[in-house]
Amino acid sequence: MGIFNNRNGSENGYRKPARYSAFDLFRRGLSRADWPRAWRKHDLRPSYDVVVVGGGVHGLATAYYLAANHGITDVAVLEKGYIGSGGSGRNTAIIRSNYLTPEGVRFYDRSVKLYETLSADLNFNAMFAQRGHLTLAHNDGSLRTMRWRAEVNKLEGVNSEVIGPDEIKRLVPYIDTSEDVRYPILGALYHPPGGIIRHDAVVWGYARGADAYGAHIHQNTEVTGIDVVDGRVGGVKTNRGDIATRVVVNCTAGWATLISGMAGVRMPISTFPLQAAVTEPVRPFLDPVIVSGTLHVYVSQTDRGELVFGASVDPFTSYSMRGTLEFTEGLAGHVLELMPSLSRMRVLRQWAGLCDMTPDFSPIMGTTPVAGFLIDVGWGTYGFKAGPVSGETMAELIATGKTPELIAPFGLDRFERGDLMGEKGAAAVGH
Amino acid sequence: MILLPCPYCGLRNASEFRYVGELSERPDPNATGIEDWRAFLYMRDNPAGWTTETWFHRAGCRRHFVVERHTVTNEVRDSRLPAAQLRDREDERATGGNVADDRGGATY
Amino acid sequence: MSMRLKPQPGEVIDRGRRFRFTWNGEAYPAYEGDTIVSALAACGERVFSRSFKYHRPRGLLTASFLDPGCMVQVGDEPNVRGAHRRVEPGMVVSPQNVWPSLRFDIKSANGAFGRFLSAGFYYKTFIKPRRLWPAYRSVLRRFSAGGVVSPDSSHGYFDKRYAHPDVVVAGGGPAGMAAAIAAAEAGAQVLLVEEEYELGGHLRWGNEAELAALRELRGEVGSTAGIEVMTNSVVNGRYDGNWVAVLQRNLPHVVERLVKARAKTLVVAPGLIERPYVFEGNDAPGVVLSGAVRRLVNLYAVKPGERAVVLSANESGDAAAEDLERAGVEVARVVDARRGGDVVRANGGGKGVRSVECADGTKIDCDLLVTAVGWTAPTSLLNMAGDRPVYDGRAARFFPSRLTEDVLVTGGLAGDGTLEELLAHARATGRDAAGRATRTGRALRAGIPQHADGQPELAQSPPVEYPKLPVYDHPALFRGKTHGIVDYSEDVTSKDLVAAEKEGYDAIELAKRYTTVTMGSAQGKLETVNAVAIMAEATGSTIEETGTTVWRPPYAPITLGALAGRIFEPVRYSPMQPWHERHGAKPLVAGAWIRPDHYGDPASEVRNVRENVGLIDVTPLGKFDLRGPDVPRLLNHLYVNEWSNLDVGAVRYGVMCLEDGVIFDDGVTGRLGSDRYILTATSSGAASVWEWIDNWLQTAKPGWRIHITPVTTAYASINVAGPKSRDLLLRLAEGVDLSPDAFPYMRVRTGRIASVDGCFMWRIGFTGELSYEIHVPAAYGLHVWEALMERGADLGVKPFGVEAQRILRLEKGHFIVGQDTDGLTGPYGVGLGRMVKLDKDDFAGKPELAWQGERGDYLRLVGLQPHDGSLVPPEASQIIEDKNGVVGRITSSRMSPTLGRSICLGFVAPHLATPGTTLLVQLPDGERIPIRVTQHHAHFDPEGTRQRG
């Protein structure tokens, strides 16, 4: 798979993009030639085979795999702001597959696999750094959950193990593993394939790839309505004009309820802000990603040297992305409980994104009662890490009309059936 | 930090409260089909705008109350006692019960 | 070479206090009042850091907190603003981001390759081969900027404060001071916050008249009652509800303090930030802003160079030129941008500027180039309040557009004008702020419900008349005729922005993310407007159309220590804790409680309970005193089982489900009197259960006559368990007939224990032994515990901890909610289906439980024993079937001291739940061992004869 070695793509609209490599960088540096646009601008066509709502990693990956894997290129991705302006550009860029349920592990493992080859497939370096991922356990119960996850992970072929405080200290010398603290560290789930990535680069890489195949990426294009006639989708209305289409995919986060509502589909979703913060850079000292569910915090250090922090979602629903002081206060307290020597590091910026939380901390993917209206929503706090596999499976669903096995457990009808997913225990603070 | 108007205590920092959830009427458990019950359990309006919800004054008077809040601005335009209590008070009034405090619908 | 000038009228250094400090390993002199960088500049130093990507030498630019080239390490504190932080005797300061040294930096070779390292170059390379990427990455990481933290860095002391001002004024320049004075005179309590070490803003480096005005304003601030001044402090954020965060720095004994205030009115008066000019060589040491010159000369008496060129588009540039003349610097030329003059490039190597080329083709030798090309309005606090400032092309800066009722603006952010005009505007703003605060205060008080009718009417104070501030024309100068650095801390050039636009990153937010412009230490305060202007130029649109990036909190970087403050994490102990500590209990953190896990040997504690008698402190057990005639209705509603027929003196076990039919909590409830009940909940679930009950009573059943009182900590609770427990209690209980007939299993009695009145006790059996759970008024808990230990010595009484209790209950097959249940487990799955009374009219979760009963496809909790009784599969081990994969898991497991073999509880798929079935468990090392489903959950005494004894 990949833009350069896949020849299945439609002839119509395929444009081989300028190749990115050290050699080409050097060549253009010498000649001072400009690089071409990574994705083009287009007028809105009156109709598309498929309309993807939401220009984040999910929507762009869906468009990319529709073309790359299935030859479907008459696709529009509609983004009301700029691409990656929602959750894709606001998350803390953590990738992992150490989930609790076998279904979850299989699904996210496929995503990690896709992430591992993504830079090469897209010819765009997203700088995936598999530095390892540590989920700390501060009490018996969470240590038991870590062991549960490790055992399920191993059975699914995913590298996870429970390690003790000494090993934690070896991996992260800055962590306070002493016993006389309020929340002593009893152990951790260590997941070596986990890590961080340049989240924006994933968005841009997929956009460039989808564009190369001929998909149209429409920024500043807001969906204002969805036409449903006799229980099936007929088109979408946007601030730039109407589009006729028989397939609409809702790939939004934060606005999933509203977009689905336009098609008359009710969602089991509550939207909560999720905040994050970043410090000034310091010299690299922290390799793995650290998560503590008890302390509601996760920390990683970027290649630039900044610490990136996140926590659990805000305590009440809101569509506000203004951020709160309580968030940074609580966060700092918890970070310093883990790593007291960081007290003089400074928080440079805080921000918020919107998370569509579902009752069972699992996404909602697949068909809806409205024919042609598909959903890839309810991504809570774990949507970014699922971007590639979601795009791949949603593309397969659109192309084949059959729900891929990997996403079968995540259907909307599970709520009416009462077959909820069991991720709740592990995902409360699941980065 | 937003302020929430507790009908008993007045405006207090939101950190004193616990958000309970979007207000939804519990269907009659003996006369409800599976579809309606599961919709009650799981489906949410989740509007980007005015919403009616229940809050609990956890670090104060420990009272549940109903708030109308705008989910984009977080502005609050009304807070009142839960409907069941208001109904109850109506009943008491109708039967001549002793109504000590009828400030049910304090508006802010 | 000393660059220190003779005393200046406005200088802030104290020449009577001279000391030394260390920079880059060498000793330097300084005066008290010097910043780190002013002291170094006074000694002729010009280079203070190396830039992030190209490792170019960097010197002074703004001589303020924002100065991007003056980030230094002070001791174990990284990223100190060297142009702001005052130097102290003995301070150890070192440069950051240099390798191997400040003067010779190997990575400066990057500069030569700059054309190949365009913004985002890393996205385009290191792609293949994938296996080399980790190696590339480790090289890239070497280029990360910033100082150093060590694992041994001291935490330092931080704390927080709540302040209760009516009006917060952000900015202590002339406008801020005047606004504060006027607000205070109108009766408001005012908090005046200034980022620098002294009040005064630009007046501090002004002329005689300005210094006189400064003295007067400072005097007034000092003499007006009701103004609290915080200097070296910054209003760091404005959050919903005018919740204002103030960062206070350099207090005695406090590293930083976070002050939080619910401002009734916030007055934003930060002044304006001078904007750098983009042209080739604009980052060479010696290229400085006019404000930096004015500060250096007037505040620190430092001569900024020897021969200068000044590019001036405003009064600040003109004044800087005058300052330079006065300081003995040769001003080779003043290039007047108002008359079309421009500077094309600055030439110079690592040591700094050597010459400047002007637009008219002249080239002037100099070591100093001063630019004064305009201002950026720091609208951050307004953006946080929901404002979207608009660009005014005439003045070449942004102005506020829509302010909320509780935010006001004055000073340079509001307009231009003479000092008198600005002060008049500020005074009006202060009066208005006080008036609005009064109205807000009244509304807040009116919001508190009162029994008496008639709340005070809000008095309509007359609207404040504002003098209108003029807006002066200013040339729009962002980038000159050449390309240069836009973001100094990120090494982003205007060329990078143009290239990014061409590649499709044409929205300002995309360009920001692609090039990292504005993402460095100043967070766009120096860079944003230039970046926007360059993007506008590249896209052929206007600055208005291009818009700006979003300003986010905090306004200034704040330490994690200040945000955290002192960390308070309260814990709960039972009244018996002193005894536990004396007897070597190993503590167990269990949520809010710290409990004894064991006293050295949990297995022997288990054996002692089975053979003699043991005591366990179960005080954390959630306990609620329920009174009133409708308690049975409540119990029926909360629990899945039947409660209408609970007699006085009876105790019953119950399981609670939420509305989705999932087990929420469990526990026993006893009826102590005709309308008095004690309900117990799990320790960890107690708070949620209480709230759940409150929710039902308040929102659904307000008519039920029930009082609920939490008594968890009102009673100390002790479980006395073991065959000799009755013998022990007989020695201490009074007024209770303990004979098995009079006080049988699952009954509750009240009485006196160890001379303590008001105790109650019930016979229940979590351990599976004859046992009495006694609840005594908490103040007597320790006394009763000690009495039991003392009087039971000959019976072999010993304490036991949570670990022994876990073993005992597992032997007995009792499940623990949250351990042997999960987020999907209903009562049927744990074998309590028979308890569910669907014929009750209503109870929480009833419809779900009806459907759950019909389904039958849920996992079953079963007792399990490995064939090899010496193996204990760890909890959470998975149960495997070759064809179906995971078919269950171990939820609890222990070695049983009583049975001498391993025992477990676990979930299995329904088709595997038949007693006698052999299953495979996978151990963490991958080995699979056979395990058998047992007849009962209980591994020991399944008939329960011991507990009923």
Each domain of chain B, given as residue ranges in start order, spans 3-96
Q: Which residues of C touch A182 (CB under 8 A)?
A: 567, 569, 571, 589
Residue A430's pLDDT is 44
pLDDT computed for residue C55 by the predictor: 83
- The dotted CATH code for A41-91+199-269+360-427 is 3.50.50.60
Measured distance CA(C721)–CA(C194) in Å, rounded: 66
C chain contacts of residue B91, beta-carbon cutoff 8 Å: 703
Task: Please indicate if any CB of chain B lies within 8 Å of the CB of A317.
Answer: yes
- Name which of C444, C449, C660 is nearest B7 (Cβ-Cβ): C449
Average pLDDT, chain A: 92
What gap in Å lies between CA A424 and CA A412, rounded to an integer? 17
Give the per-residue pLDDT at C457: 52
Nearest to A139 among C155, C589, C660 (CB): C589
**Residue C309 in this model has a pLDDT that exceeds 60:** yes
According to the model, what pLDDT value does residue C460 have?
61
Task: Write down the mean pLDDT value for chain B.
Answer: 85
Q: What is the mean pLDDT of residues B86-97?
A: 62
Q: Is the pLDDT of residue B106 over 50?
A: no
- Flag if A255 and B48 touch (Cβ within 8 Å): yes
pLDDT per residue as tens digits for the range A91-120: 999 999 999 999 999 999 999 999 999 999
- Place B104 in a pLDDT band, splitting at 50, 70 and 90: very low
Chain A neighbors of C879, CB-CB under 8 A: none
Nearest CA distance, A74 vs chain C (angstrom): 21
Q: What is the mean pLDDT of residues C821-840?
A: 94
**What percent of chain A shows pLDDT beyond 90?**
87
Q: Which of B22, B28, B41, B73 to mutate to test the interface with C (most CBs of C within 10 A)?
A: B41
CB pair distance less than 8 Å for B71 and A418: no
Report CA-CA distances (Å) from C699 to A210, B30, C748. 52, 19, 32
* Contact between residue C935 and residue C915 where contact means Cβ atoms under 8 Å apart: yes
**Cβ contact (<8 Å) for A324 and B46?**
no
- Chains touching B (3+ CB pairs < 8 Å): A, C
Of residues B1, B20, B32, nearest to C239 (C-beta): B1
Question: Domain segments of chain A: what residues?
Answer: 41-91+199-269+360-427, 128-193+271-355
Task: Give domain B3-96's CATH superfamily.
Answer: Folate-binding superfamily (3.30.2270.10)
| pLDDT at site A362 | 94
Q: Distance from B23 to chain A by nearest Cα, in Å?
A: 12
Q: Are A289 and A298 within 8 A, CB to CB?
A: yes
Inform me whether the pLDDT recorded for C498 exceeds 90: yes
Residues A289, C583: Cα–Cα separation, whole Å: 40
Which percentage of chain A shows pLDDT scores above 70? 95
Interface contact C841-B30, CB threshold 8 A? yes
Distance between CA atoms of residues A375 and C196, nearest Å: 53
Instruction: Point out the least confidently predicted range of A1-15, A40-54, C600-614.
Output: A1-15
Continuous segment of H or E residues that includes residue A336:
helix A325-338
Q: How far, in Å, are A252, C247, C593 from residue C264 at the CA level?
A: 38, 19, 40
Pick the residue from chain A with its C-alpha nearest to C890: A148
CATH architecture of A128-193+271-355: 2-Layer Sandwich (3.30)
Please report the pLDDT score of residue C109 as a whole number.
61
Q: Which of A179-188, B90-99, C750-759 has the lowest mean pLDDT?
A: B90-99
| C64-68, C101-105, C283-287, C557-561: least confident range | C101-105
Cβ distance A416 to B73 less than 8 Å, yes or no, reads: no
Residue of A nearest to C876 (CA): A148
Residue of C49, C123, C822 best to disrupt the A interface, most CBs of A under 10 A: C123
Q: Which residue of A has its CA nearest to B34?
A: A416
A363 closest CA partner among A350, A344, A382: A382
- Residue A87's pLDDT band, with cuts at 50, 70 and 90, is very high
Distance in angstroms (rounded) separating the CA atoms of residues C173 and C179: 10
Kindly give, in sequence order, each residue whose CB lies less than 8 Å from that of residue C599, ignoring residues fewer than 6 positions away.
C580, C583, C584, C585, C586, C605, C798, C799, C800, C801
Is the Cβ of C241 closer than 8 Å to some Cβ of chain A?
no
Q: Is C132 on the interface with A (CB under 8 A)?
A: no
Closest-CA residue of C relative to B102 is C451
Please give the pLDDT value at position C100: 63
Across the beta sheet with C352-358, the strand order is C343-349, C352-358, C363-365
Looking at residue C621, the DSSP 8-state letter turns out to be: S
B-chain CB neighbours of C851 within 8 Å are: 34
pLDDT of residue B93: 56
- The secondary element (H helix, E strand) that includes residue C851 is helix C846-855
Within C242-330, residue ranges assigned H as helices are 290-300, 315-326
Selected for mutation to probe chain B from C698, C824, C846, C852 (highest B CB count within 10 Å) is: C698
Q: CB C154 to CB A184 under 8 A?
A: no
Q: Which residues of B touch A361 (CB under 8 A)?
A: none
| Interface contact flag, A183 C589, Cβ < 8 Å | yes
Q: Which residues of B touch C (CB under 8 A)?
A: 1-3, 5, 7-11, 18, 20, 26, 29-30, 32, 34, 37, 40-41, 54, 56, 58, 62-64, 73-74, 82-85, 88, 91, 101, 103, 106, 108
What are A374's strand-pairing partners? A249
Across the interface, do A270 and B1 touch by the CB < 8 Å criterion?
no
Pairing of strands C363-365, C26-32: unpaired
pLDDT digits (tens, 9 = 90+) for C880-903: 998 888 999 999 999 999 999 999
Which pTM does this prediction carry? 0.94
User: Is residue A3 very low, low, confident or very high in pLDDT (cuts 50, 70, 90)?
Assistant: very low
pLDDT at A428: 40
Whether pLDDT at C764 is above 70? yes
Which residues of chain B have a CB within 8 Å of the CB of C698?
63-64, 82, 84-85
pLDDT of residue A427: 44
Beta-carbon separation of C660 and B41 below 8 A: yes
Asked if residue C193 lies in contact with residue C246, where contact means CB atoms within 8 angstroms, the answer is yes
> Which residues does residue C678 pair with via DSSP β-bridges, in sequence order?
C625, C670
Q: What's the pLDDT band for C296 if we cut at 50, 70, 90?
A: very high
Answer positive or negative: Cα dihedral of C786, C788, C794, C799.
negative
pLDDT mean over C146-167: 90
CA-based nearest distance A149→chain C, Å: 8
Q: What is the pLDDT of residue C463?
A: 81
- Of the candidates A268, A271, A319, the beta carbon closest to that of B43 is on A268
- Select the residue of B7, B56, B88 nearest C703 (Cβ to Cβ): B88
Give Cβ neighbours of residue A430 (< 8 Å, ≥ 6 apart): A99, A291, A361, A380, A381, A382, A423
**The pLDDT of residue B103:** 36
Give residue A2's pLDDT.
40
ipTM over 0.90: yes
Which residue among B22, B44, B71 sits closest to A318, beta carbon to beta carbon?
B71
Chain C residues inside the 8 Å CB shell of A424: 822-824
Inter-chain touch C564–A155, beta carbons under 8 Å: no
- Residue C237: closest CA among chain B residues belongs to which residue? B1
Whether A374 contacts A256, CB under 8 Å: no
Please, which residues 825-844 of chain C have a Cβ atom closer than 8 Å to chain B? 841-842
d(CA A390, CA A383): 9
pLDDT tens-digit readout, A264-301: 999 999 999 999 999 999 999 999 999 998 899 999 99
> Do C602 and C896 contact (CB within 8 A), yes or no?
no
Alpha-carbon distance C94 to nearest alpha carbon in chain B (angstroms): 39
Most C-contacting residue of A344, A421, A424 (CB-CB within 10 A), to test interface:
A344
Give residue C81's pLDDT: 96
B9 and C702 within 8 Å at the Cβ level: the answer is no
Distance from CA of A365 to the nearest CA of B (A): 16
- Cβ pair C889:A148 closer than 8 A: yes
By 3-state DSSP, what share of chain C in percent is helix, strand and coil, each rounded to 5?
25, 30, 45
Spell out the residues 6+ positions from residue C925 whose beta carbon is closer than 8 angstroms to its own.
none
Q: Return the half-sphere exposure (C-beta side, CA atoms, 13 A cut-off) of residue B102.
A: 10
- The per-residue pLDDT of chain C, averaged, comes to 93
Is the pLDDT at A12 greater than 70? The verdict is no
